[in-house]
Amino acid sequence: MTDCATCVVRNRAICASLNPAELAALGKMGRRQKVRQGQTLLWEGDGAPVVANVLEGVLKLVVSAADGREQIVGVVFPSDFIGRPFGKESPYSVTAMTDAEVCIFNRNNFDEFASSHPDLQQKLLRRTLDELDRARHWMMLLGRKSASEKVASFLLEMSERLSGQGCQSGARTGFELPFGRQQVADILGLTIETTSRQLTRMRADGVLDLPSRREIVINDRAAMEDMAG
């Protein structure tokens, strides 16, 4: 069992919809678990017996083809929800991109609990609708944008989502990506070389700086927004 009262995402995760008694009941079902970078929590096509809240770290949702090609279809941050309630098998695998900690529930237990807690279910619905919007927006990027537009859009979105994490609000000009070039490429539907070239060119054009491998500093946000298409 888990102590929800002290949970870092208590007020942001779907649990925020619950009163203390309900929270205690849910807490009995859940347990905290550390996940190492690179470790896979859920496998594509698996029975997917669990769902979870992310407490710390960043994880990726991956769909892969038989020949090894991979597409990252989602990236989840603390307070986000992972897994597939009311489903049979996981349609993608979930892997930690950094060391992470999650709060895990048995899927059947969670489904049952959710069915009897409409507020929780509504929170889950809202989150799922947001995710769907995000996914569809990403489809436009994958299907219609050029390499430079993809990279620019990606950096802008990351600057926003990562700033949701820390203290300041609003988009940041400088931030650290929680993943390497290959992962960026897998998010954008590009190769690692093309991704690298686009970043290099943007640096040459003065639109951004790359202080280290994973750090990004956006110098000219307006130009970046233009590039994003």
Partner DNA sequence: CGCTGCTTTGATTCGTATCAATAGCAGTGG
Partner DNA sequence: CCACTGCTATTGATACGAATCAAAGCAGCG
CB 33 within 8 A of CB 90: no
Is 70 an interacting residue with respect to a second copy (CB under 8 A)? Answer: yes
Q: Which does 164 bind (CB under 5 to 8 A by kind): DNA, a second copy, none?
A: none
Which residues within the stretch 146-185 sit at the binding site for DNA (CB under 7 A)?
146-148, 180-182
The residue within the footprint of DNA, chosen from 55, 199, 207, 218 (CB under 7 A), is 199
Cβ atoms of 72 and 61 within 8 Å: the answer is: yes
Rounded to a whole number of angstroms, the minimum distance from the CB of residue 225 to a second copy is 11
What is the distance between the alpha carbons of residues 65 and 31, in angstroms, rounded to a whole number?
Answer: 32
d(CA 29, CA 44): 24
Neighbours of 19 (CB within 10 A): 9
CA-nearest of 50, 51, 96 to 77 is: 96
Other beta carbons less than 10 A from residue 67's beta carbon: 5
**Nearest residue (CB) to a second copy, 65 versus 204:** 65
Q: Which residues bind DNA (CB under 7 A)?
A: 146-148, 180-182, 189-197, 199-200, 210, 212-214
> Which residues would be at the binding site for a second copy (CB under 8 A)?
61, 63-67, 69-71, 73-74, 84-87, 91-92, 115, 118, 121-122, 124-126, 128-129, 131-133, 135-140, 142-145, 188-189, 229
